[in-house]
Amino acid sequence: MSFFLEVDHIDRVFDLEGGGQYVALKNIDLKIRQGEFVSLIGHSGCGKSTLLNIIAGLDQPTNGGVVLEGREVTQPGPDRMVVFQNYSLLPWLTVYQNIELAVKKVMKNLPPAERESIIQHHIDLVGLRHALHKKPNELSGGMKQRVAIARALAIRPRLLLLDEPLGALDALTRGNLQEQLMRICEESQITSVMVTHDVDEALLLSDRIVMMTNGPEAQIGQILEVNIPHPRHKLEVVNHPSYYALRNEIVYFLNQQKREKKRKSKKAAAIARHGLEKVNLDIGFVPLTDCAPLVVAKEMGFFAKHGLEAVTLSREPSWKAILEGVASKRLDAAQMVAGMPPAMTLGFGGNPPLPMVTSLVLSRNGNAITLDKDLFNAGVRSLEDFASLIKQTSDRSHTLGIVHPTSMHNLMLRYWLAAGGIDPDQEVNLTVIPPAQMLANLISNNIDGYCAGDPWNSRAVHEGEGVIVATDLDIWAGHPEKVLGMQEEWANQHPQTHLALVKALLEACEYCDDRRNRQEVLDLLCRPEYVGLAPEYTRPGFIDAYNYGMGEDPRSLLRFNQFYVDRSNYPQPSESLWILTQLARWGITPFPKNWVEVLQRTHRLDVFREAAQQVGMPSIEPDRKAFQLFDERVFNPDDPIAYLNSFDLHGTIRIEEIDLDQVATVAA
């Protein structure tokens, strides 16, 4: 797919007067579609304006480049127009003359009458007919900025660049101009990139919000999709079900960067101690109930006990952000969905192969399939009911949410649907939505249901918006759900730190599965920096019986959240082999003919064994026994290809020999 604007892995390095260098931007990679409105947000000094100037051609990157409509940007041009915060009007010219100056310069080949028409049109567009002959010193701040916007739009730029254009205005003027700017950009289908500090402004105007990490070496930390329909009006946006979930993610990211800045100011670079190569780590997690082991390891002192003195838990908005954080080395390691390490190693979704390893299963189970309450009211109580509904309503589309293509949520939901005769790629639409946004999308009727981890299923039931038709205990009890994932390169460079990390998390997992500790763990999870939801949404399945929302008594599901018991933490290769068959079944990755080699490479069983031995836990060996899911189809780990080929419903299956040395070379 070709993009309108491509910022291709740019760095910007400034030479300092006294010698040395300041790295303002590092490895910025951003692709923007035509007509899209993208906001850049972050704390002062994170390079937002520098990036905007590079896109404008006012500055040059040290490395990388910018491509606009297939042509490299090397200098300013009339296809890009910048609106600055300080208006940049010529004080001796009137409103009309300031706009006329730009139009005459860029459109000198047009007949005078056509230029006049363009000027008059854009004066009316921003509502300044009454101030036509006034000079800047006779205008309010809001009127000056409207002149600057009209001047920018009058030359018909392909790309509008806005550097905090409304930052200095009062709230009322700012609100009115936001509405005007949004209307103009939507009507004219102008591609726009805006720098802002205002979270609400970004949410109102943007299709995507690019959140920048602190400088120096500022990077793109996260990119948030704003799936609020157009045209937008401020009151409707604020009342949209997704609004506060999106806003909270941005505010959390900004607060996280503020804490990170304080942490760096107090602490020097990592110092090797206790025989560890690194003692301060950044570990990513997604706010779900089963992030408990990471929270407990930090708050109950297990990280510190094993020499990891300064672990920062980075709350990420999505599994995509987790993947990008580990791939870019912003994160040392992360809680990952179980299919992510092997899928990243093989390469998926157009991404190059990146060798990953896992040495620990952090949790098992914890997911459910939630359907809209309207489907329940229409008689859907089971997979069979849902299949019947789909056949009867083939004229309409049914959309279900998943959290990531490589997640067990996706693979389990697909397996469940296919077992009921529903082709997940033909008869329903599966769309990727971050867990925290699932319920909002259900309420706004963007989806008919979803498969996600708790507390988002229990919250849907509690608020009367959904019912649970199956948990993963009903589909595959005890499956691996979240794992500890990291780049193979990082694990090889930090062997003792890796070992200490696994030891700390093993002890934290054991602590989480002691029922006597569950209330204490729940209190930690409910804190705003972690899951941040009320206990009534988090208790079901974790402490209390689990309510499916169908009017029957809640069910006791003692293993709904499983962290340690029954050899939970061992990264069983045969279970990951099943995951590889399902990734291949639906065309997400090829199935590796050399699966034994792939699993040996991605599963650091040696690290798990050493960690378990050092903390006094029993040694575990690989289990090669066959097993089955709820449909009783037997999976034989010795013949995964026969299992893969036994399914009637599947996508395009590819079976390939994977050259892992080549994978490592590509990743490097």
Q: Is residue 638 scored above 50 in pLDDT?
A: yes
Is the pLDDT assigned to residue 458 strictly greater than 50? Answer: yes
The letter for the amino acid at 615 is: V
Classify strands 280-285 and 220-225 as parallel, antiparallel or unpaired: unpaired
Amino acid (one-letter) located at 413: L
DSSP string covering 41-81, please?
A: E--TTSSHHHHHHHHHTSS--SEEEEEETTEE--S--TTEE
**What's the CATH number of domain 272-362+481-625+637-667, 3.40.50.970, 3.40.50.300, 3.20.20.210, 3.40.190.10?**
3.40.190.10
> Nearest Cα to 147, choosing from 178, 119, 110, 168?
119
Residue 76: per-residue pLDDT? 87
Do residues 580 and 342 touch, judged by C-beta distance below 8 A? yes
Question: Greater confidence, 221 or 658?
Answer: 658
Q: How far apart are CA 34 and CA 517, in angstroms?
A: 53
Show Cβ contacts of residue 352 under 8 Å, excluding neighbours closer than 6 positions. 666, 667
Selected from 3.30.565.10, 3.40.50.720, 3.40.50.620, 3.40.190.10, the CATH number assigned to the domain covering 367-475 reads 3.40.190.10
pLDDT digits 0-9 by tens, 65-87:
999 988 999 898 888 888 776 76
**What are the extents of the domains in the chain?**
5-255, 272-362+481-625+637-667, 367-475
Question: Which residue's entry shows tokens 């009007």?
Answer: 89
Q: Determine the average pLDDT of the residues in 183-187.
A: 75
Q: Which of 659, 453, 471, 480 is nearest to 537 (CA)?
A: 453
Is the confidence at residue 16, as pLDDT, over 90? no
- Reported as a single tens digit per residue, the pLDDT across 320-333 is 999 999 999 999 99
Kindly report, residue by residue over 140-169, the tens digit of the pLDDT: 777 887 788 778 777 777 888 888 877 666
Q: What DSSP designation does 545 have? A: P
Residue 173: predicted pLDDT: 65
Residue 267 has pLDDT above 50, yes or no: no
Ramachandran area for residue 173 (φ above 0: left; ψ -120 to 50: alpha; else beta) = alpha
Gap between the Cα atoms of 290 and 325, Å rounded: 20
Q: Whole-angstrom Cα distance, residue 97 to residue 150? A: 12
Task: Please choose, from the candidates 667, 668, 595, the residue with its C-alpha nearest in 3D space to the C-alpha of residue 636.
Answer: 595
Give the span between the Cα atoms of 225 and 209, in whole angstroms: 7
CB 247 within 8 A of CB 198: no
Query: Which residues is 13 bridged to in the sheet?
Result: 23
Distance CA 523, CA 538 (A): 10
Most confident listed range (15-29, 54-68, 227-241)? 54-68
Instruction: Give percent of the chain above pLDDT 90.
Output: 57
Paired tokens of 504: 């700390």
- Homologous superfamily (CATH) of 5-255 is P-loop containing nucleotide triphosphate hydrolases (3.40.50.300)
**Identity of the residue numbered 85:** Q
**Angle at the Cα of 602 from the Cα atoms of 311 and 508, rounded to 5 degrees:** 35
Q: Per-residue pLDDT tens for 86-99?
A: 767 888 988 888 88
Whether residue 28 has pLDDT greater than 50: yes
CA distance 376 to 141: 55
Q: Is the pLDDT of residue 256 over 90?
A: no
Tokens of 17: 């007067």
pLDDT for the residue 79: 81
pTM of the prediction?
A: 0.75
For the CA atoms of 181, 186, 192, 195, what is the dihedral angle to 10 degrees?
40
Euclidean distance between CA atoms 416 and 434, whole angstroms: 21
Fold: same for 272-362+481-625+637-667 and 367-475: yes
* Alpha-carbon distance values, 107 to 71, 78, 101 (Å): 21, 10, 10
